[in-house]
Amino acid sequence: MLTQKIEKSGEFNVNGISFDEFRNTILKDYRIAVESRAASILGRKEVLTGKAKFGIFGDGKEVVQIAKAKSFKKGDFRSGYYRDQTFMFALGMSTIQEYFAQLYAHADLQEEPASGGRQMNCHFATRSIDEKGEWKNLTEMYNSSADTSPTACQMARMLGLAHASKIYRENKSLQEFKKFSNHGNEVVFGMIGDASTSEGVFWETINAAGVLK
């Protein structure tokens, strides 16, 4: 009923988008969340039935990761952990097919571009160098540092990436290298679980961030 009234009145407008645009965005987000949850459930079944050796899954974190993806811009970096699958799906940095290729340790980089089956599943990465060995323009793509397994280890990488942006912002002589930084204006995004905040590297990173400002 409310939907019908909004469509007839034509008054619905949120941040300059129409009702149809708003509806399509909601449906797209809902689809991503549902598909990501289904991938987690199926992945668990594959592990429990012995078809995959080991699995980590991100069910229960879909909505917050879709919201985070909406603030992520090209040039930004992710330094996340092994439950970021919905975030990666939302930005197109990974697909469900690649997700399962990683679960089964597929060694073909075309099928599993994060690590060619060398990492556990949900250990994401984007490639900063192309097939010819040349640097890509990192300011024109969504970037993800390569995940590693120890809990809270993403914090130190996140600090390093943020510090690099600060150096690019403050050192004018570096600003000619336009493929790596947009004058230091990019942001690094991190995710961490409650238990990992008890790790030493978490507190060391918080301390170093304060020292480095």
The mean pLDDT values, 10 residues at a time, for the chain of 213 residues are 51 76 96 98 96 93 96 96 95 97 95 94 95 96 94 95 96 93 95 92 96 94
- d(CA 35, CA 37) in angstroms, rounded, equals 5
> End-to-end distance of the chain based on CA atoms, in angstroms?
52
Say how many residues make up the chain: 213
- The per-residue pLDDT for 39 is 97
pLDDT of amino acid 1: 47
What pLDDT score does 16 carry? 80
What is the per-residue pLDDT for 193?
A: 87
SS3 8: helix
C-alpha distances in Å from residue 25, one per residue of 22, 59, 75, 138, 142: 5, 21, 23, 27, 20
Rounded (to 5) percent helix, strand, coil in the chain: 50, 5, 45
User: What crossing angle do the helices spanning 19-48 and 96-103 adopt, rounded to 10°?
Assistant: 10
